[in-house]
C-alpha cells in the first residue's frame, strides 16, 4: 500500500469521527432545547435570574468551544502541552455549567473564596497549567498516553470535588478578604509566569498556537487583578466585567485557533501547490526512474516510469516491482558501498555499468525523514547509455578527423618527395641537353634509377589511396579460389629476401606443412605479406633477422612475421591498424610511409574472415600473426599462382637503398 493510500484512509477516518462529533453536539443541544420547551413552559423567574442563566449558558458554550479548539490544534501540531492546556478549558467549562465559577458572587455583596471560585478545581487548573509549560516528564507522558482516561478523570474530579466544596461553603460563608486576595495574587503570579513561558515557546518554536494560549492565560491573570479590585468597589457592573473577561479569554482561544487554522490552511495550500508540482515532477518524469524504499529495501513508492518499464502499466501494484528491482540492484549496484555512504553522509551517487546488457546507469540515493521521523531512501536513476555512446562516437569522429588531417598532411609530404625528385632530375637533364649527346646520355644513366624508384613510390601511394577509398565505400571484394597458401607465403618471402640483403637483413622461412590448400585471394595475400615484410625491413637494423613461419592447425592457418627491430609501444599497438594512423607522424622520421598500409592489411584479412594480432616490446621487436580460416571451396579446383615481381618492387620502393 502506498503512502498516498494510507493518508486517504486516515483522512476518511478523521472525517467520520468529525461527523459523529458534530451530530452528537447538535443532538445534545436539540434535546436540551426540547426539554426546556416541554418542561419549562411557564417561566416565572425574574429578569435577573434569566440574565444569569443566559450568561452562564453563553459562557459555557464558549468554554466548550475553547476546549474543542485546543483539541483541534493539538491534533494538528501534536504538541503535548496543547492537549494538557485543553484540559484546563474543560475544567472551566464544567465549573461554569455547574455554577462553580463567578455566578454565586451575584447573590452576595462581596467577592470571597466561597462565593467566587471553587478552590479544588482551581488548583487542578493551576496544576495542569504548570505541567503544560514544564519539561517533558513521566506525568505528562501518562496523560498523553491515556487521553480518554485523562478527560474522564478531569470531568469526574471537577464535578465531584466542585459539588462537595460548593455544599460545604454554602453553609459557612467566609467573609475574610485576606485569604481571597492572597489566593488571587498567587494566581496572578502563576498566570503571568506561565503566559510569559508560552510566549517564549511560541517565539522559539515559531508556533502561533502558543502565543494564542499565552494571551488567553494572560486574560485570566487580568481577571484575577480585576477581582482584587472588586473587593473594594463591589457592584453588579464589576461582576459583569469579571465574567466578561472570562468570555474574552475563551474568545481569544477560539478566534486565535481559527486564525491559526486559516494560516495553516494558507500554508497547506501553498504546500499542496508545491507538492503537486513536485509530485508531477517525480510521478510523470519521462527521464528518470524514481522510487522510495524503507531501510529494509522494501519499496513504498515508485513513479510511473518504473511501473511502465517493469510491468507495462502505470496502475500496477508496486509490490510486484519490488523483487525485480531488488534482483537488479543486487546484481549491478555496489550495495555495500551505497550502504556505507548513506550511513556516513546520507547520500550516494555513482555510475553503474551493466555487464548483462552493457547499459550505463547514472544513479543517486539520499536518506529522507518521513512525517513520523523514520528514515526512508529516495533513489533516482537514468539510463545514460545513449549519451555515453554518443559522446564516444563523437570522440571517435574527432580522433578520426584529426587522423585524416594528419594523413592529408603526411600524404602531401609523401607526394612532394618523389615530385621534387622528378623536378630536380628534369632540371638536371634539361641543363645536360645543352651539351653534347654523350654527356646527356651519361647524365640520364646516372639518375634513371632515382626516377624509377620514385615512380614506383608514387604508383604505390596512389594504389593505396585508391584501395582505401574502395574499402570505405565497400567495393573492394576478394577473388576467392583454392590456392596453396604455403607456396604463396614462401614465394613472397623469397622475392623480398634479396632486397632485404641490401640492408644486411636476413629472412628465414619455416613451415610445418610443405603444401596446404585453402580458399583465399592470392593477390591480396601477396599484398598482405609484402606490406608486413616491408615494415619489418624498414624498422630493423643491419645484421638482424626476420622470421616468417606458416603453421597449419585444425581451424586456422597462422602466418607470423617476426622481426628484431625497434618494437611498438603498448599504447601504439591499439591504434596501428586504424586508418590514417602512423606512430611517427613527423616529417623528419627515419622511414617513409603514408600510414594506411596496416589498415589495408587488416581490411584484407577481414574480407577473408580472419584476423591479425601483434605482440611487441620496445627495442626487442614485433610479431605480426595473421589468422586465416583453414577451409576450402567445395567442388572447386586447385589453382596455381605466380607472384608478380613488380608488386614486390612497388611495395619496397620507399626503402631508398633498393636497386631496380
DSSP character for 117? Answer: B
CB-CB contact of 514 with 537 (8 Å): no
Q: Alpha-carbon distance 382 to 43, whole Å?
A: 81
CA distance 383 to 123: 68
Q: Which long-range contacts (CB under 8 A, 24 or more apart) does 73-77 make?
A: 73/209, 73/257, 73/260, 73/261, 76/261, 76/264, 77/207, 77/209
Give the DSSP H/E element, type plus range, for residue 220.
helix 208-230
The burial class, CB within 10 Å (0-12 / 13-18 / 19+), for 492 is: buried
**588 in Cβ contact with 410 (< 8 Å):** no
Is the overall model pTM greater than 0.85, yes or no? no
d(CA 494, CA 497): 5
Find out whether 510 and 478 touch, Cβ atoms under 8 Å. Answer: no
Other Cβ atoms within 10 Å of 508 Cβ, number: 12
From the options 3.20.20.70, 3.40.50.720, 3.40.50.1820, 3.30.565.10, give the CATH code of 385-660.
Answer: 3.30.565.10
Q: What is the pLDDT of residues 100-116, one digit of tens each?
A: 776 655 555 555 555 56
Distance from C-alpha of 67 to C-alpha of 76, rounded to nearest angstrom: 15
DSSP state of 104: G
pLDDT for the residue numbered 86: 84
| Among candidate residues 378, 229, 294, the one with its CA nearest the CA of residue 1 | 294
Check residue 101 and report its DSSP letter.
Answer: B
Q: Which residues contact 220 (CB under 8 A, 6 or more apart)?
A: 187, 191, 245, 246, 249
Nearest Cα to Cα of residue 292 among 259, 338, 327, 325: 325
CA distance 228 to 226: 5
Q: Which long-range contacts (CB under 8 A, 24 or more apart) does 284-289 make?
A: 287/382, 288/380, 288/381, 288/382, 289/380, 289/381, 289/382
**3-class SS at 363?**
strand
The pLDDT score that the predictor gives to residue 175 is 45
pLDDT attached to residue 586: 40
- Numbers of helices and strands, H then E, in the chain: 20, 13
Q: Chain-centre distance of CA 494, in angstroms?
A: 65
Element (H, E) at 347: strand 347-353
The 10 Å Cβ neighbour count of residue 72 is: 17
Report yes or no: 478 and 606 within 8 Å, Cβ to Cβ: no
Sheet holding 517-520, edge to edge: 517-520, 481-484, 638-639
Distance CA 565, CA 567 (A): 6
Q: For Cα atoms 658, 659, 660, give the angle at the middle one, nearest 5 degrees.
A: 125
Residues of the chain by 3-state class (helix, strand, coil), percent to 5: 65, 15, 25
The pLDDT of residue 544 is 92
547 backbone φψ class: left, alpha, beta (φ>0; ψ -120 to 50) = beta
* Positions in the chain whose pLDDT score sits under 50: 1-8, 41-42, 170-175, 584-593, 656-660
The closest of 277, 229, 227, 220 to 249, measured between CA atoms, is 220
Q: Which residues pair with 353 in a beta bridge?
A: 360
* CB-CB contact of 525 with 533 (8 Å): no
Question: In the prediction, which pLDDT does 622 show?
Answer: 92
Can you say how many angstroms the Cα of residue 536 is from the centroid of all Cα atoms in its chain? 54
Query: CATH 3.90.76.10: does it fit domain 285-383?
Result: no
> How many angstroms separate the CA atoms of 500 and 648, rounded?
12
Where are the domains positioned within the chain?
46-268, 285-383, 385-660
Question: What angle is formed at CA 444 by the lines to CA 441 and CA 450, rounded to 5 degrees?
Answer: 160
Give me the residues paired with residue 508 across strands: 547
- E strands in 41-123: none
Buried residues in 455-488 as b, exposed as e (16+ CB within 10 A):
bbbbebbeebbebbeebeeeebeeeebbbbbbbb
CATH number of 46-268: 1.20.1070
For residue 233, the SS3 value is coil
Q: What's residue 595's pLDDT?
A: 58
Q: What are phi and psi of 358, to 5 degrees?
A: 60, 25
CA-based nearest residue to 488, from 633, 597, 642, 652: 642
Which is nearest to 630 in space by CA: 525, 537, 530, 551? 551
3-class secondary-structure state, position 301: strand
Residue 41 CA neighbour count, 13 Å, CB half: 1
The pLDDT value given to residue 266: 80
User: If DSSP codes are grouped into helix, strand and coil, which group holds residue 349?
Assistant: strand
Amino acid at each position: 500500500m502506498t503512502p498516498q493510500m494510507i493518508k486517504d484512509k486516515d483522512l476518511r477516518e478523521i472525517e467520520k469521527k468529525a461527523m459523529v462529533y458534530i451530530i452528537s453536539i447538535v443532538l445534545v443541544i436539540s434535546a436540551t432545547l426540547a426539554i426546556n420547551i416541554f418542561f419549562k413552559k411557564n417561566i416565572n423567574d425574574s429578569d435577573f435570574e434569566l440574565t444569569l442563566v443566559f450568561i452562564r449558558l453563553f459562557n459555557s458554550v464558549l468554554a466548550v468551544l475553547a476546549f474543542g479548539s485546543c483539541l483541534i490544534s493539538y491534533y494538528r501540531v501534536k504538541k503535548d502541552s496543547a492537549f494538557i492546556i485543553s484540559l484546563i478549558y474543560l475544567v472551566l467549562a464544567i465549573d461554569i455549567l455547574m455554577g462553580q465559577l463567578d455566578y454565586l458572587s451575584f447573590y452576595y455583596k462581596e467577592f470571597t473564596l466561597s462565593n467566587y471560585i471553587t478552590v479544588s478545581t482551581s488548583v487542578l487548573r493551576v496544576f495542569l497549567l504548570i505541567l503544560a509549560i514544564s519539561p517533558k516528564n513521566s506525568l505528562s507522558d501518562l496523560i498523553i498516553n491515556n487521553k480518554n482516561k485523562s478527560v474522564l478523570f478531569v470531568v469526574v474530579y471537577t464535578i465531584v470535588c466542585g459539588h462537595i466544596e460548593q455544599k460545604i461553603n454554602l453553609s459557612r460563608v467566609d467573609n475574610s478578604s485576606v485569604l481571597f486576595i492572597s489566593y488571587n495574587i498567587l494566581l496572578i503570579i502563576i498566570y503571568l509566569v506561565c503566559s510569559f513561558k508560552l510566549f517564549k515557546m511560541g517565539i522559539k518554536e515559531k508556533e502561533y498556537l502558543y502565543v494564542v494560549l499565552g494571551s488567553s492565560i494572560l486574560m485570566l491573570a487580568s481577571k484575577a487583578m480585576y477581582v482584587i479590585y472588586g473587593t473594594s468597589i463591589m457592584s453588579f457592573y464589576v461582576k459583569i466585567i469579571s465574567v466578561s473577561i472570562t468570555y474574552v479569554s475563551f474568545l481569544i482561544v477560539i478566534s486565535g485557533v481559527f486564525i491559526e487554522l486559516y494560516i495553516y490552511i494558507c500554508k497547506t495550500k501553498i504546500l499542496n501547490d508545491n507538492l503537486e508540482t513536485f509530485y508531477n515532477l517525480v510521478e510523470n518524469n519521462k527521464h528518470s526512474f524514481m522510487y522510495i524504499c524503507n531501510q529494509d529495501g522494501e519499496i513504498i513508492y515508485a513513479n510511473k516510469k518504473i511501473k511502465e518499464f517493469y510491468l507495462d502499466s502505470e496502475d500496477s501494484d508496486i509490490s510486484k516491482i519490488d523483487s525485480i528491482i531488488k534482483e537488479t540492484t543486487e546484481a549491478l549496484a555496489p550495495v555495500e558501498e551505497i550502504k556505507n555512504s548513506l550511513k556516513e553522509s546520507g547520500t550516494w551517487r555513482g555510475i553503474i555499468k551493466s555487464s548483462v546488457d552493457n547499459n550505463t546507469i547514472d544513479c543517486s540515493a539520499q536518506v529522507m525523514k518521513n512525517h513520523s521521523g523514520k528514515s526512508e531512501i529516495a533513489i533516482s536513476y537514468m539510463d545514460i547509455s545513449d549519451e555515453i555512446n554518443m559522446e564516444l562516437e563523437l570522440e571517435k569522429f574527432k580522433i578520426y578527423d584529426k587522423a585524416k588531417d594528419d594523413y592529408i598532411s603526411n600524404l602531401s609530404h609523401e607526394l612532394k618527395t618523389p615530385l621534387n625528385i622528378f623536378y630536380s632530375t628534369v632540371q638536371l637533364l634539361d641543363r645536360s641537353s645543352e651539351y653534347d649527346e654523350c654527356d646527356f646520355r651519361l647524365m640520364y644513366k646516372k639518375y634513371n634509377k632515382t626516377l624509377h624508384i620514385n615512380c614506383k613510390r608514387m604508383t604505390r601511394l596512389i594504389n593505396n589511396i585508391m584501395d582505401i577509398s574502395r574499402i570505405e565505400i565497400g567495393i573492394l571484394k576478394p577473388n576467392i579460389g583454392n590456392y596453396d597458401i604455403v607456396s604463396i607465403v614462401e614465394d613472397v618471402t623469397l622475392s623480398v629476401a634479396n632486397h632485404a640483403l641490401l640492408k644486411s637483413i636476413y629472412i628465414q622461412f619455416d613451415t610445418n606443412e610443405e603444401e596446404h590448400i585453402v580458399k583465399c585471394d592470392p593477390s591480396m595475400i601477396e599484398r598482405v605479406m609484402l606490406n608486413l615484410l616491408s615494415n619489418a625491413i624498414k624498422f630493423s637494423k643491419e645484421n638482424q633477422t626476420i622470421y616468417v613461419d606458416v603453421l597449419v592447425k585444425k581451424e586456422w592457418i597462422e602466418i607470423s612475421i617476426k622481426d628484431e627491430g625497434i618494437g611498438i609501444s603498448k599504447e601504439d599497438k591499439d591504434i596501428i591498424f586504424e586508418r590514417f594512423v602512423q606512430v611517427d607522424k613527423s616529417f623528419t622520421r627515419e622511414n617513409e610511409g603514408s600510414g594506411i598500409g596496416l589498415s589495408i592489411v587488416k581490411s584484407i584479412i577481414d574480407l577473408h574472415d580472419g584476423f591479425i594480432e601483434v605482440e611487441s616490446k620496445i627495442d626487442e621487436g614485433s610479431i605480426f600473426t595473421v589468422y586465416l580460416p583453414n577451409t576450402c571451396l567445395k567442388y572447386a579446383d586447385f589453382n596455381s599462382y605466380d607472384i608478380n615481381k613488380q608488386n614486390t618492387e612497388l611495395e619496397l620502393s620507399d626503402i631508398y637503398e633498393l636497386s631496380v
